[in-house]
Amino acid sequence: MPIWLKSKLLNFAITFVFIFSFMAITIDEKIYMEVTSSVAGLTQFFYSSKEGDFAENKSSVSSLQIGENKLTAHFLLQTKFIRWDPVNGSGEFNIKALYVKILFFDIIIPYDDIAANFDIECIVKYPNEISILTSDGSLDPSILIKLPQGKILSIYLLTSLILAAIIFTVILFLSENHRKLKKLHTRLSTKIYDERAFFKKLPLLISIACLFWIFSLTGYSISIDDEFAMFRQDHSPWIAQGRWAVFLLTEFILPQPIIPFLPHFIFCVSVSVSYLILVRAHGMELSWKNIALFPIFMAFPTWYFIAGFYANIPAVSMGLIFTSITLLIFSHSLSKINEWKILDKTFFLLIFIQAFILSIAIGCYQSYIFCFLSMGLGIILLKVDQNSSISNRYIIRSLGYLFLIVCASLLLYYSTDFTFKFIYGVSSNTYISGFINLEALLKFPGDVIVSTLHEAKQIYLGSSKIFGVSLGAIGCLLLTGVILSLYSASNWKVRATLLILMFGCIISPFALNILAGGARSIPYRSMVGVPYVIWFFSALAIERKNTVITFLITTSLIISSFQIMNAHSNYSAVKQLTLERDKALAAEIYYRITTLIPGNDKLSSYKVDFFGSKPFNNIFPRIVTSTIGGSFFDWDGGNPDRIVTFMKVIGFDNINTIDSGQRRELVGFYDEMPVWPSVDSIKMVDTVFLVKLGERPGLMHQFKEQ
């Protein structure tokens, strides 16, 4: 065997061993259990040590609800057995599916590998499920699960072999093309080095962002849906929503995003980096003017509405960076748009790179596609504004280039979305598709377009009907930018071109509204392109070399920054007050429940049902399409699952909801009960505590209307 071949085989073997070892150490092995339970409480998974012992430090605790559950637990590669401890006491647990997930592979665990371990009354194995029964006296029931170690090891070996082959091939390619790559590296290093002064101002931007977001950074005010996300162990619902990039972030980087400080700090850093990239993409310097414009972009209420749900923040932050990077490439490549031919390799490579990066941004938050469209039109508009003699051919080719990138990114996004759904066996849910209302657009196109334009006008003018407080100064900034740009145009043809591009740039963030049926059909948080539009036209105005205009714009900027900070303060106030009221109400309800518990009761958990809602009205504004200031005791007209989950979050973990069948049987008892806080607003029927918060039934109690 030639020496060179021996050397390469040895290197390949070393690569393989390294990858296998790295995967064994870093990759999380997980067991998934889909189980239906008749009782609720805490359940625990233990994985055995090398000696076969089960210890508390090698376990994970989950919350088991009545009805369907999807439980997950981590284990080590060398684990042979997992012990599952259901809820103490009597209960029935029907395991519908049990499998191990390694990377993209699901390994089904046969029911024959499940056996009773301790305090189990009986196990009945059916073709499609396994039923486990525990008795009243069961203090520590447990079952033993044998893991398919052979299959797990095979997957690791096969995956390591494939990755080693890919990495080894890449290394060979790099070694053979090191001269070309060295030149490329030198060019990139030079460009980055040239921008060092620009990026030295990044700490300043981060500090400004942290100042505007200081309450969110230092406080911890959970809102609607955060309570469910806290207990989420299976992150595949993100795939069902088409946000596969969010799935990757929560699965591998930040599995528990409902935490204080870090998510908002990630946003502050990301929005600062994105702003630097945006300013560079527009060929501007980071002067005092653009630093003064920064709050308009990074603190606009749209971001606060998104940040109302902690789980959104990291992905939206990453998506903003990817969108900005795509725009930077688009902006720099426009200079050669007239030189490229349709079949040029460089042209196709650039489109692919931009589409790839943008598709990741869309995977983080779908609205970034409309945000990028608005940004791209803004770049083309800026080119026309700066050079009135620019040819129509250049504009048309630039627009075509932009739409090619948008279409290619959508194609890549949907291809990746399909792949993730296929691999993880997830089907699309109705959350995203539920917004689309083509029937309304086809039947009443005029009404849909007019209502959308009216809503866009209110948002861009900073109406208090939209934001709860007035942001009128941002409307002045936007209008000033539009007027000055049109005024400085050399002739009517240029003005017409600018008007068309302006309309496209301004309306692009509302494209989804038109598809959804008009105004208020889409949450305001989805309009992530709006902060860019306001910033862009403000930048157009402030860059004019006129002392009077600069003074007026600077004054408007100061007022705008104050108004935005005032909006943040109001939103934070309503969030904090609502949460404090909900916590106090939960504590009072729990106390009243405990006073009704019989003295000889030995139950470790209690079933509770809530009827109606208890709204919280205060002087601070509520945003129509946002969860900001929404009460857990009021959302959905009073949702027992949401209320009980919230109470578990704040420490009342021994209460559980009832299933819909039992709720239907008990709903009649509410007719004769008074509303909270009356003495008899809480009633114990059999083993269930009924709490009547309001007269009007919520969605989960509307049996009589069905």
Q: Spell out the domain ranges in the chain.
A: 8-155, 195-544, 573-701
- 3-state per-residue secondary structure call for 566-629: HHHHHHHHHHHHHHHHHHHHHHHHHHHHHHHCCCCCCCCCEEEEEECCCCCCCCCCCCCCCCCC
Give the highest mean pLDDT range of 423-432, 437-446, 480-489: 480-489
pLDDT at 603: 64
- How far is residue 444's CA from residue 576's CA, in Å, rounded to a whole number? 41
Start-to-end C-alpha separation, the chain = 79
Identity at 483, one-letter amino acid code? I
For Cα atoms 428, 432, 433, give the angle at the middle one, nearest 5 degrees.
75
pLDDT at 533: 97
Number of neighbours of residue 288 by Cβ within 10 angstroms: 8
Max Cα-Cα span within the chain: 92
pLDDT at 495: 92
Hey, which residues does 95 pair with through a beta bridge? 35, 130
Lowest-pLDDT range of 45-54, 481-490, 495-504, 574-583? 45-54
Hey, which residues does 60 pair with through a beta bridge? 45
| Residue 357, φ and ψ in degrees, nearest 5 | -65, -45
Given a cut of 50, whether residue 132 has pLDDT beyond it is yes
* 677 cis-preceded (ω within 30 degrees of 0): yes
Tokens 């919280």 found at: 616
As given in the structure block, the two tokens for residue 615 are 């709204």
What is the pLDDT averaged over residues 243-261? 91
How confident is the model over 284-330, as pLDDT tens digits? 988 899 999 999 999 999 999 999 899 999 999 999 999 999 999 99
Nearest to 117 by CA among 140, 90, 96: 140
Lowest-pLDDT range of 243-252, 254-263, 380-389, 603-612? 603-612
**More confident site: 119 or 599:** 119
Hey, which residues does 120 pair with through a beta bridge? none
pLDDT at 52: 64
Given a cut of 70, whether residue 114 has pLDDT beyond it is yes
Given a cut of 60, whether residue 705 has pLDDT beyond it is no
| Residue 223, φ and ψ in degrees, nearest 5 | -135, -175
pLDDT at 706: 43
Q: Tell me which DSSP letter residue 678 carries.
A: S
What is the pLDDT averaged over residues 450-463? 94
How confident is the model over 29-71, as pLDDT tens digits? 889 999 998 887 788 999 876 666 787 778 888 878 777 888 8
At residue 348 the predicted structure's pLDDT band, cuts being 50, 70 and 90, is: confident
**More confident site: 211 or 87:** 211
Tokens 């916590």 found at: 583
| Residue 244, φ and ψ in degrees, nearest 5 | -70, -25
pLDDT at 439: 80
What is the pLDDT averaged over residues 108-126? 89
The whole-angstrom distance between residue 691's C-alpha and the CA centroid of its chain comes to 33
Tell me if residue 674 falls in helix, strand or coil: coil
**More confident site: 58 or 608:** 608
**Mean pLDDT for all residues in the chain:** 88
Tell me if residue 626 falls in helix, strand or coil: coil
Inter-residue contact 304 to 234 (CB < 8 Å): no
pLDDT at 442: 82
As given in the structure block, the two tokens for residue 445 are 């196109």
pLDDT at 1: 63
Instruction: Count Cβ atoms within 10 A of the Cβ of residue 645 and give its class: 0-12 exposed, 13-18 middle, 19 or more buried.
Output: buried
Identity at 278, one-letter amino acid code? L
- How far is residue 378's CA from residue 538's CA, in Å, rounded to a whole number? 12
Q: What is the pTM of this model?
A: 0.84
As given in the structure block, the two tokens for residue 20 are 């296998």
Given a cut of 80, whether residue 568 has pLDDT beyond it is yes
Inter-residue contact 33 to 24 (CB < 8 Å): no
* Beta-strand relationship, 59-64 and 67-75: unpaired
**More confident site: 578 or 28:** 578
Given a cut of 90, whether residue 414 has pLDDT beyond it is yes
pLDDT at 659: 83
Lowest-pLDDT range of 95-99, 279-283, 656-660? 656-660
- How far is residue 213's CA from residue 207's CA, in Å, rounded to a whole number? 10
Inter-residue contact 48 to 54 (CB < 8 Å): yes
- How far is residue 648's CA from residue 634's CA, in Å, rounded to a whole number? 17
Inter-residue contact 268 to 216 (CB < 8 Å): no
Given a cut of 90, whether residue 179 has pLDDT beyond it is no
As given in the structure block, the two tokens for residue 129 are 């499920």
The share of the chain scoring above pLDDT 90, in percent, equals: 51
At residue 390 the predicted structure's pLDDT band, cuts being 50, 70 and 90, is: confident
- CA-CA distances (angstroms) from residue 44 to 141, 142, 460, 589? 11, 9, 52, 28
Tokens 């080894």 found at: 168
Tell me if residue 81 falls in helix, strand or coil: strand
